[in-house]
Amino acid sequence: MPSLRALVSSAFAVIVLAALPANAATPTGWETVQALAPHTRVQVRTDNLKSDCHVMAVTEEKLTCSEASFARAEIKSIKRIEKTKSTLGGLALGAGIGAGAGAGIGSAVNAGDSGSFVHV
């Protein structure tokens, strides 16, 4: 009869193996670029140029954007541009600055008021 330890080890191994994809091919390099949806905003860097553009089409040989076309051989890097991250970061920064300024002004206004509930 198998021991409890052996059963637990076997169950753990089955769970871990089930969670791992079986030889799933993850797209790399140009395959990832070819998988970009049309109108995806990207930043393309070449030796001479850095351009923000919207993807129109990707073939085996080139990336075509609404603003320009780039040969695969000349492209050094491609990055997706995510406006959501920068928008949320700016919102958080602005809220923090606003809260700090409000606390400072509120403290200055309430400094001489003895009837105030909050003294910062």
- pLDDT at position 2, please? 55
Q: What are phi and psi of 77, to 5 degrees?
A: -155, 155
Measured distance CA(52)–CA(79) in Å, rounded: 9
Helix (H) or strand (E) holding 5: helix 4-19
Residue ranges in 20-112 assigned as alpha helix (H): 30-34, 83-110
In a domain, 18, yes or no: no
In a domain, 57, yes or no: yes
**Would 117 be classed as within a structural domain?**
no
Task: Please indicate, yes or no, if residue 11 is contained in any of the structural domains.
Answer: no
Domain membership of residue 2 (yes or no) is no
* pLDDT value of residue 23: 45
Q: Give the domain range for residue 37.
A: 27-100
Residue 65: helix, strand or coil by DSSP? strand
**pLDDT in single tens digits along all 120 residues of the chain:** 556 565 555 555 545 445 555 444 555 689 999 999 999 999 999 999 999 999 999 999 999 998 899 999 999 999 998 866 666 677 777 777 877 766 667 666 666 666 666 655
- Domain with residue 72: its CATH number is 2.30.30
Q: Quick one: pLDDT at residue 34?
A: 92
So what's the pLDDT on residue 29? 85
